[in-house]
Structure 1
């Protein structure tokens, strides 16, 4: 069985999102000093810390440990949406979801023409 490098995965996810470690700390609710120690001293984070990190990234633990490249299955438009999504803060993400739901509801509602 191949050993999973948790610290490298965190670094990979930050790089993919163009996030600084400060941004990850803020999104995760983990003190920057704690996160920095984990990443630079290569201390493996505890499960509760890793769950906070995953929540900050907006992914599940299963997605964190997945060895499959899920992005390879996405269309160009879907990838673009995710790139933009990753740049948003939590409030903007909430607003984006509400807006998208409104668009979907509007599309589903088609009044009958007389």
Structure 2
């Protein structure tokens, strides 16, 4: 997808097709359901994923930073 095409979508100068939306979602690693979900909705998540996000929501900024550092260290 060209930057011009994406820019036109962002500026609301064009409406993306479903295949274009699917490519955008793929780039962000989300489903179309997640793309269209309203605030606070988390469709298509496993129980474990939901638990992780609920726990994240209850952490303060310092705890989130510590957790992110730990998670990133697991990927190495």
Give the TM-score band, short-chain normalised: 0.5 to 0.7
Shift of 1:42: 3.5
| TM-score in terms of structure 1 length | 0.38
Give the structure, 1 or 2, with the largest relative contact order (CA under 8 Å, sep 6 or more).
1
Stretches (4+) displaced over 2 A = 70-74, 76-81
Query: Greater Rg, structure 1 or structure 2?
Result: 1
Question: Hey, what does 2:2 align to over in structure 1?
Answer: 31
Aligned residues between the structures: 56
Gap change, CA 1:67 and 1:35, over 3 Å in 2:
same
| TM-score in terms of structure 2 length | 0.53
Determine which structure has the larger helix proportion and give its number: 1
**C-alpha root-mean-square deviation of aligned residues, in Å?**
3.3
| 2:54 alignment partner, one of 73, 89, 94 | 73
Q: Give the secondary structure class of the aligned counterpart of 1:59.
A: coil
Question: Hey, what does 2:45 align to over in structure 1?
Answer: none
Q: Does 1:53 align with 2:10?
A: no
